[in-house]
Amino acid sequence: MPTPGNALVGQSGGPTTVINSSLAGVIDAAAKSKQIGRVLGMRFGIEGVLSDFLLDLSAEKRETIKALCTTPSSALGSSRLKLRDEHFDPILKRLKRYNIRYFFMIGGNDTMDTIHRIVSYARSAGWEMTGVGIPKTVDNDLFGTDHTPGFPSAGRYVALSVQQGALLARDMQRVDQFTIFQTVGRSAGWLPAAAACARRKPGDAPHIILLPERHFERDDFLEAVANAHKKHGFVSIVCGEGITNPDGTPVSASTTTDNFKNVEFGAMGGTSAAMILHRIISDEFRWRGEFQVTESLQMCAADRAVKLDLVEAYACGKEAVSLATRGNGGVMVTIKRSSKAGEPYKSTFGTIPLSEVAVHARPMPDQYIAPGGMDVTRSFMNYVTPLVGVLPEYPGLTIKRAKV
């Protein structure tokens, strides 16, 4: 059995609507464990350990922890600090000072790498500690899991935004002939693809979906825009922020990167993919149009949270504690879908080594991308619909000219 002691938990990277639900799951499960004493929270990720800014989460009131489940953003605060060699010794001193024997972090690829490196360093120095990762990302690109907590709610946010924005575009088509909605997601198209859930009948928006898994081909895109406009009277376009040109350069032309060498699309006053697409269409057709870049709003819209997402996020936090206290460390919790297409959704939990998550990504597979690369397939809709849920259907007017 692992050595009894205190637990340390942190959040890292961008938030999701349900990341605090995972945190509540960790706290609740740890409180029931005989092997874990206090649960300490890192303020602003791993920076909280380095600066000795830890919160005693075990001292919080029960109603506060319960309320975390429906609280947006990252309650502990986040960080994108990339660990350097000189950080490990100060971190180890804090771990020993607070008798940390269980280490949990909620995050994506870079976060899983952080857990793996810290636990490995501690053990090499003779400090026994068990680390488990809890998945989180709206991008849905973590390797080894059916989906990540945060994606269903973000997908619903995108789908509702596109659906409702399309009603505006449809009715304003004599003013604005096109609209472009940009989602977050550097290199995976899961989130822009989720916009397809906005469709309730043929012809509904979005008419074009641009995915990072397929290079942006200007001529093919303009042809698709012209065809959609001719057919529908307006054009609804959704794009991932990380779409690239055939030579691999970002359509956004961004060159700004974060500490992990990830491109910061639209950062520091730069352009966005939606802005570039807007310019391309306007220059070609001389149309007026709109672009909508919501950035982090899709990561924290608690009013559009999916109940399934909240439940699974909380359960992932509990599962992480269960794994750690049973000595199953060095892994990330995964969600495994146990139901088939057309059946009521069911899932179980699994694990994947942290080292594998840290070095792999999970782009959309080819069978989810339609021929031509600007839409999704029925297979993708079978995958995503149980997660995002069915969207409301708005009544439409019967358009007939008045007779005198």
For the annotated catalytic residues, the residue numbers are 139
Distance CA 224, CA 369 (A): 16
* The two three-digit tokens of residue 120, written as one number: 């490995």
**Do 20 and 27 meet the contact criterion of CB atoms below 8 Å apart?**
no
The CA R_g of the chain, rounded to the nearest whole Å, is: 23
Q: Is residue 48 classed exposed, middle or buried when 0-12, 13-18 and 19+ CB atoms within 10 A define those classes?
A: buried
* H helix or E strand, kind and range, residue 350: strand 347-353
Distance CA 356, CA 143 (A): 8
**Do 294 and 161 meet the contact criterion of CB atoms below 8 Å apart?**
yes
CB atoms within 10 A of CB 381: 16
* The two three-digit tokens of residue 91, written as one number: 């971190």
Distance CA 151, CA 37 (A): 32
Instruction: For residue 304, give the nearest of 156, 101, 98 by alpha carbon.
Output: 156
User: DSSP character for 173?
Assistant: T
> What are the backbone dihedrals phi and psi of residue 7, each rounded to the nearest 5 degrees, phi first?
-115, 145
Distance CA 101, CA 95 (A): 8
The beta strand positions in 263-362, using DSSP E, are 289-293, 331-337, 347-353
